[in-house]
Every structure is written in C-alpha cells, then in structure tokens.
Structure 1
Amino acid sequence: MIASEGSVQVAEITHFVYQPPATAQNACRILVKPNLGYPKKPPVTVSMGVLSTVLRGLRQASPNAEILIVEGVCSPVSLGEIASRNGLYDVMDQGMQLIDADTLPMQEYPNQSPHPARFPSMLAPTLLQEVDCRISVGALKRTVLKEEPLISASLKNLYGLFPRDRYKARSPHSRGQLHRPSVPLVLQDVYFTIGHLFDGAVVDANEKFISVDWQPDRGSAVPIGKVIWGNDLLVVDREACRIADELTPDYVEAIERMRDETRS
C-alpha cells in the first residue's frame, strides 16, 4: 500500500523533541535507517544529537522494542568503524542493535509505480517486512550530477539499504547501478519499491552540506539549525528543501504525481 501524505514538523536543533509515528507506539521491532554510509562527520552524515533524539523518542514510545539501526556503507570503512568514530555506540541502549544492511537476507520488492523508470523490482532486506515501524533519518545534502543539482534527504537516504553486490558498478564500495540512467529516475523506483513502506522521516538540517561536484563527502557546510520530521518522506523532503532555500527536486514532484495516479 502506498503511504499517504501527512503533516510535517520543524524545530530548532536545540529544541528538537522527536514525536514518532503511531506505528512506533508499543511496537515490538523498529527499523531505523540513518545516513551513516561514509566515514565522515556531520553534515556528510547525520549528527548523533539528532539520531540520539530520534532513538530516545522511539524508546519512550516502545520501552521494550527491539530497535534495529540498519545502514549500508559506501566506502571501504566498515559500518562498525564509522559508528565508533561518530559516537553511535554511546547513544545506544541494550535493546538497540547496529546491523550492516549488506549482511541481511534479501528479497525482491515489486515496483508499485504506474511507470517504472528502470527496475520492475528491487532487492532489499527482508527485514523491512518483519518490523512494525520504519524510520529514515537523513542528512540534508546537495551534490551535482550531470551538471544538475541533486538533493539528498530522507528518500535518497534509502540507497544504503540496497545490496552493493547486486547494484555495484565499477566500484565494489558503491551502488553505481542506482545512478543509471539517473539518480532522480531511480529514486522513483526506490520510492515505489521500499520507500512507501516507511512510516516516518527525519531530516537533520542543522547544516546543509554542499558539494562542488558529485562527491557526497567533500564540500562545505551552510548553517541552518533546523530538524524536519513527519510521517511522509516526500512531504518531509519538500519542507526540508523549502527551509534550506532549495528548489523542490523534480523527482519528488514526479513521485507525488504518480502516487496520485495510483489512487485515482
């Protein structure tokens, strides 16, 4: 079932208190997908301040839940090492577990788009269907691909869930197949295979990362001081762009049109 639009909330970074979606209340298992794919500090990756606030909010909603923090890296550095460098272990409780997405059992998710861009289905962790609640916690970044700006927020963050072994191209450390024919087009398939399963999104906009080229780990930071969250990835990403003075990405508008088409 394709997720419906929802409200969006914005807070100053110093006043952020996470309010999880209803599916997190008394859940048994919760999956959190943070942007931690690179061995870099924020704003290339999500800050521990924002991520720890999200984890605390989920723990308050479900005191006994198993909270699974799942990410797939984009470099030779292991997820455990990235987590250690960034201080993730310091904010995890005993009921939380860090999992490298590439180590999980996988299954094909059908593309529910009325107009698939490239993939009729996509391989992603079976775990997505074995939890009660799924949250994407993204960093706000702008890179340049084929001379066009690309905004990464909560939807683009989901790239880390796809296995590199299936989607690698020239580099075994990245998912180059998900850049062909273009990231904006493939993001449409990402949404209609696994994106619509997500119950909530958080965008860390304390700083906006701006790259001068395609590399999402080299650039500069612009202070914004905000956190944006809600229960709909597209609505959250649209609001994050507005607050960061960025144009709404074409892929967000295209997905919204197709989502409306599926309901008509």
Structure 2
Amino acid sequence: MSDISTAPTATFVYQPPASAYDARHILVKPNLGYPVAAPVTVSMGVLGNVLRSLRQASPNAIISIVEGVCSPVSLHDIASKHGLYGLFDDGMELLDADTLPLIEYPNLAPTPVRFKTMWAPALLQQVDCRITVGTFKRTILKDKPLISASLKNLYGLFPRSKYHARSLNSRGQLHQPSVPKILQDVYFSIGHLFNGAVVDADLRFISPDWKPDRGQTIEFGKIFSGTDPISVDRAACIATGETIPDYLDAIERIKAIF
C-alpha cells in the first residue's frame, strides 16, 4: 500500500507527490462532471487546497484542470456555477477532455476485460504529474453497490464521442459488461499513470439507485490522499465502513504479477 494520509477536513493540507515539485506541467482531474455541488462533485475547498499545494510545489508550472462532463451542461457553465475560476492563478487553465487531441493507450493487463486499448487525451503522457481528485459516492448499479472515488473519477477523461451509447451525454460503452470490470481496463490503460489521488469524503454521497447526482448526504469530515489511487480508495472504503469493491482486489492481484 502506498503512503496514505487521512486528515479531518478542517486541518487537511495536501502533500503533493515528488513528481509535482519543480514540474513544468501538472494535470489535475477533479470530479466536476455535474452542475451539482458537493458531495456530487468535489468541494471547492478541497480542490482549492490541492491547487494551492501544487502551486507551492511548482511555482512556474502550467496546471491544467481537465474534466469531461456527464450532463448536457457545459464544463464552462459547471465551473462557473461552482466558483472554480475563483481558485485559479495566471498559470492555471480549465480544459474540456472531450475537445482535446486523443491517442490510444495500451491496456497493460495480461487479459483485458473488454478494451485492449483506450482512447484518452494525449495530454496525459505530456505532463510531468497527474492528480485525480474524486468524491466518495455509493450508487446502485445492476442491484449491486458501486463505490466511486479517485479511480472511477477517471471516467471523465474518456471522450463521449467514442464511448457514448444511447445517451450522447454519458459514456455508456464503459458500463458494459459492468463498471467494476471496466475499471480494471481503466486502471491498466491510464490509471497507472497517476502520481497522486485525493478522495473528498467530507460529505459522503449515498444514492438509492444508479443516479450519481441525486441521493443522501452524510457528514463524514475526512479527506484521504496518497500516491496510488487504488490504495487511497481502499483506505476510504475501510474508514467509511463500506465493503471493499471487487475491482480494487482484482486490480491488486493483477499488479502483483507484473
């Protein structure tokens, strides 16, 4: 397990990974896919904390905040609604993942679940450091609980033009045969590239069904961070009393044979 930090929200100060120090270009992938505030999306307090720490670690870096939305509302409108632009300095930019140049990333798993390669922004391989900042959510998909945290957050990097199904606003192709199984492909195509992960569990989100933007909010008051998304998501599940998702165990087993 990587180094994991668990802090009360009030005292949380993000500690960037080594690759963030004196970096030329840093990519931050926050959970901002919906025009709904925390805990459906990451809180501006937690995201602002991460951005400030990254700026201190690398005063001259370009910091690209990259997201692909999951609704008809544009990324610019969502960012404006949440007050994201108020967190920016002159070296920060917001980029819509759906508009960026793409490349195919090889799936490094010995036996891919569905995708031998996955399309995602070329920018991922051009930066010096990559951070995923997710929220902690539990939804119900195919009658089973689905935990979404820092790894599931990476769904927003995949272009809807290539992965949509019936709805052009979502990435339905990434739900077949199931999200937990596809998350294995996600990790071994782009997830392994990430240098840091943050899970905002100040407020937990519990949905009675599959909808990730309508549900119950539960105060929890903790923020989890570390260098490995799998370890950070596992720590958050343990602390909140949620069952460890099968996809975390499956990914760990595959990592162990590399």
Distance 1:147 1:182 in 2: 12
SS at match of 2:185: helix
- 2:254 is aligned, of 252, 258, 263, to 258
Partner of residue 75 from structure 2, selected from 76, 79, 83: 79
Residue 244 of structure 1 deviates from its aligned partner by 1.3
Structure 1 partner of 2:42: 46
- Matched with 1:118 is 114
- Find out whether 1:27 has 2:18 as its counterpart: no
**For the Cα contact (< 8 Å) 1:108–1:124, is it kept in 2?**
yes
Shift of 1:261: 1.4
CA apart distance, 1:6:
1.4
The number of residues matched between the two structures is: 258
Q: Within 5 A, what are the aligned runs for 1:1-264?
A: 5-262=1-258
How far is the alpha carbon of 1:242 from its aligned partner?
A: 1.1
SS in 2 for 1:26: coil
Q: Secondary structure at the match of 2:257?
A: helix
How far residue 117 of structure 1 moved from its aligned partner, in angstroms, is 0.4
Question: What's the secondary structure of 1:165's corresponding residue?
Answer: helix
The 2-side partners of 1:42 and 1:17 are apart by: 19
Q: Which whole-Å CA distance do the structure 1 matches of 2:215 and 2:168 have between them?
A: 23
Amino acid in structure 2 at the alignment position of 1:194: I
Q: Distance in 2 between matches of 1:139 and 1:81?
A: 20
Shift, 1:170, TM fit: 0.4
Once residues 78 and 171 of structure 1 are traced to their aligned partners in structure 2, the CA distance between those partners, rounded to angstroms, is 16
Give the letter for the 2:128 counterpart: D
User: Deviation at 1:196?
Assistant: 0.1
Letter in 2 for 1:70: V
**Aligned residues of 1:8 and 1:228 also touching (Cα < 8 A):** yes
Distance 2:161 2:203 in 1: 32
Which ranges in structure 2 are unaligned for 5 or more consecutive residues? Answer: none
Deviation track 1:88-129 (CA, whole Å, cap 9, x = no partner) reads 001111100000000100000000001210000000000000
Structure 1 length-normalised TM: 0.97
| Aligned mates of 1:149, 1:221 — CA distance in 2 | 16
Percent identity over paired residues: 65
Which whole-Å CA distance do the structure 2 matches of 1:212 and 1:170 have between them? Answer: 23
**Distance in 1 of aligned mates of 2:99 and 2:136:** 27
Corresponding residue SS for 2:216: strand
8 A contact 1:114–1:261 mirrored in 2: no
The letter of the residue matching 2:46 is V
CA deviation after TM superposition for structure 1 residue 149, in Å = 0.2
The TM-score, its normalising length taken from structure 2, stands at: 0.99
Q: Secondary structure at the match of 1:122?
A: strand
Letter in 1 for 2:191: G
Structure 2 CA distance, aligned partners of 1:207 and 1:242? 16
* Deviation sequence 1:35-58 (CA, Å, 0-9, x none): 000110100000000000000000
C-alpha separation between the residues in 2 aligned to 1:83 and 1:241? 28
RMSD, aligned CA: 0.5
